[in-house]
Structure 1
């Protein structure tokens, strides 16, 4: 199983989701990601990928895989904030690191 870590930006975004079904769908997709089953994912550049969730406004989770055992959840958003979210994710990926990376 792949370890998922998250930035404060991602945690804040996730905690603000009001749609309970969306929260459940996103949690399910993240569990699948942790088991190596990414589903609908597209690279967006600089090592960052976009997990696309086709529900509601088109939720997106931006992440970076580091090695075979760690995925960093960078930020989330939806289709209408996509360009801004990608820029934020790339910036966070560059800034975020842990001693075990």
Structure 2
């Protein structure tokens, strides 16, 4: 699985082990390519969505 440095740093900062496993499970599901554009928590959710939409336009 390829990851950006930003995603790797964010994923490393997630403290909840169940959340970390759930994120990884979603990424590696059934041969489907999943692109995670941004990550965060509830406190930054609105900004994260805006950032993901901007990144999606650049792909």
Q: Which has the larger radius of gyration?
A: 1
Which of 74, 81, 95 is equivalent to 2:37? Answer: 74
Q: Which consecutive residues of structure 1, in runs of 5 or more, have no partner in the other structure?
A: 37-68
| TM-score, normalised via structure 1 length | 0.44
SS in 1 for 2:15: coil
Higher strand share: 1
- Bigger RCO (CA 8 Å, 6+ sep): 1
Q: CA RMSD in A?
A: 2.4
User: 1:16-35 alignment to 2 at 5 Å?
Assistant: 16-32=13-29, 35=30
Q: How many correspondences in the alignment?
A: 59
| TM-score, normalised via structure 2 length | 0.65
